[in-house]
Amino acid sequence: MRIILASRSPRRRELLLQMGIGPFDILVPDTPEVAPPGLSPAELVICLSVEKAKAAAELAEPGALLIASDTMVELDGKLLGKPRDEAEAFSMLRRLAGRVHTVYTGLALYRDGLLRTACEHTDVRFRTLTDGEIRAYIATGEPMDKAGAYGIQGRGSVLVEAIYGDFFTVMGLPVCRLGQMLPEFGVYPLSEPT
């Protein structure tokens, strides 16, 4: 069976490989991410994950398994996606500094009309940051393609004081939950069934 990751994220690619999933292909259709208003953060990341999976499935051959994911950061009831520019990245990081926020990552697995979804969330506490530290981090370029303007697996790790939940959810792919979902689609990350 062909496995397709519907994501450009190098972190998601690395995590699938780390799980022993492969070979797999990357297929990311150029479709806007649009969700109905009024969704909770969990509902939103699931909705966007489903959109990505179904859009990629339209371009794939029948029988392919599509894996899609979406991540958002929530603070004070507001969602923080990827920053549009350095000024927005600075604003996000300033708001996150010294506080706890929640990272939501949705999953969608789709093959031939069978759809399974899930969402995991993890609380992350940032240490207090100076404006100079925030600017120096932004200058690395790392924040610009990440929800909440930081990458916990990279240089952004020095911003994080504690996490409460699944580390991989913060990276953008909840591997434990994914590993529990894949056997329904005939994929066994640890071993084949006996």
Per-residue pLDDT reduced to its tens digit, 106-140: 999 999 999 999 999 999 999 999 999 999 999 99
Catalytic residue list: 70
Helices 86-96 and 131-139 cross at an angle (nearest 10°) of 130
Write phi, then psi, for 38 (nearest 5 degrees).
Answer: 85, 5
pTM across the whole model: 0.92
Check pLDDT > 60 for residue 105.
Answer: yes
**Domain locations in the chain as residue ranges:** 3-185
The mean pLDDT of the chain is 94
For residue 122, the one-letter residue type is T
Structure tokens at 139: 């200058």
What is the per-residue pLDDT for 22?
A: 82
pLDDT of 194 higher than 60: no
Q: Measuring CA to CA, which residue among 19, 126, 26, 31 is closest to residue 66?
A: 26
- For the domain bounded by 3-185, which CATH number is listed? 3.90.950.10
